[in-house]
Structure 1
């Protein structure tokens, strides 16, 4: 195995890794706030909204992400009447699928974080004269974030690995180029390098979240 061969397979794989990282960033940036909104909807006193949010979370967490991607990419365009308007770019469709799926998981994480906050915190905020907005932003959210941070970190690492599912909907990401090289050259070496790239990405994520934990003095 020559250096030239390694360079020849790494170049397209690194280009695919850019798609992997881009999808991850888009999914994280959008799904975390959406997950928090879902958490608030679940806790809403307006029962229809709470029921719909719970049903959505159950649906997204109860079905495979791969199935959801296949439905969005290949299934929606087959719908009568509106199907022709639902033909999306593969990458855009994949982003939507990841966002909708992971928002449900983050919603459950945030719900657990809120439930872990002692009710005395709310009572203390009232005694101090804080209104609901001040209580939420100054007391509840900082504590919820600290509690939920390890679970968010774990789910984020899982998201990085799940980007490999893009291969199933023909989005040319890291695994796509690795598989192409394996089929062309009859060697598993590209899979080895793909694994290293995934490990490096998750290592960066791990260090980032460890830094956040130290930053917020989580123990």
Structure 2
């Protein structure tokens, strides 16, 4: 019985990991673009992006998942696959959170460093990639680590639209076999995943200390 439960949960955990990884692949670059837009000198663009970020960060991710899954079907008769709908919701949500982290990291760099780069005849792109980027990465690693761990736990919200992630697989045993311990067993998977991420970010932070 234990082996069967473990295999079933591992199948759901694969979906959890896929959702986690794909969210990062799309949300990180999108978050960086959004952060640039929120710092734009074009006032309407900056205001629009800040409003969008405020709405996304101010409403529950579960609500966003439900809207993205059911909304297109109700409005335009377009049915998104459940996993795709969950992924879109996660990417939009976490891109907005990442954008604020990136924005804080970029704006936290002293303006004197930009001016020094300009004095040396560097272009804006050279200043960003050769002067700013490494410092931004170092500044954003701790809050990014927190968001990554939150993302691991938030993947459980995908069960709202019946995406068969690890928590959904654990819960199904309550109905099918009348046992609840597999539901608690799912915690082991989350703890191991977050434990690995915690060790990884701790290692990265130590490596970044060499760039003081």
Normalising by structure 1, report the TM-score.
0.93
The 5 Å alignment of 1:124-139 reads 124-139=116-131
Cα deviation, residue 209, structure 1:
1.4
| Structure 2 counterpart of 1:107 | 99
C-alpha separation in 1, matches of 2:120 and 2:203: 32
- Comparing 44-53 with 64-73, which one deviates more in the overlay? 44-53
Q: Which residue of 2 aligns with 1:186?
A: 178
| Residue of structure 1 equivalent to 2:187 | 195
Which moves more between the two structures, 157-166 or 186-195? 186-195
Let me know the Cα RMSD of the aligned residues: 1.3
- Report what 1:142 is aligned to: 134
* Matching residue of 2:33: 37
Q: Aligned equivalents of 1:146 and 1:32: distance in 2?
A: 15
Find 2:46's aligned residue among 31, 45, 50: 50
Residue in structure 2 matching 1:67, options 50, 63, 66: 63
Offset from partner CA, 1:113-151 (integer Å, 9 cap, x none): 112111111111112221101001111111111101100
Q: Specify the alignment match of 1:14 in structure 2.
A: 10
Query: What's the TM-score once normalised by structure 2's chain length?
Result: 0.96
Q: Helix, strand or coil for the counterpart of 2:163?
A: coil
Among 207, 212, 215, which residue is 2:207 paired with? 215
Task: Say which of 122, 140, 152 aligns to 2:114.
Answer: 122
Q: Distance in 2 between matches of 1:123 and 1:150?
A: 27
For 1:75 and 1:134, the matched residues in 2 are separated by 43
Q: Which runs of 5+ in 1 are unaligned?
A: none
Aligned match of 1:151: 143
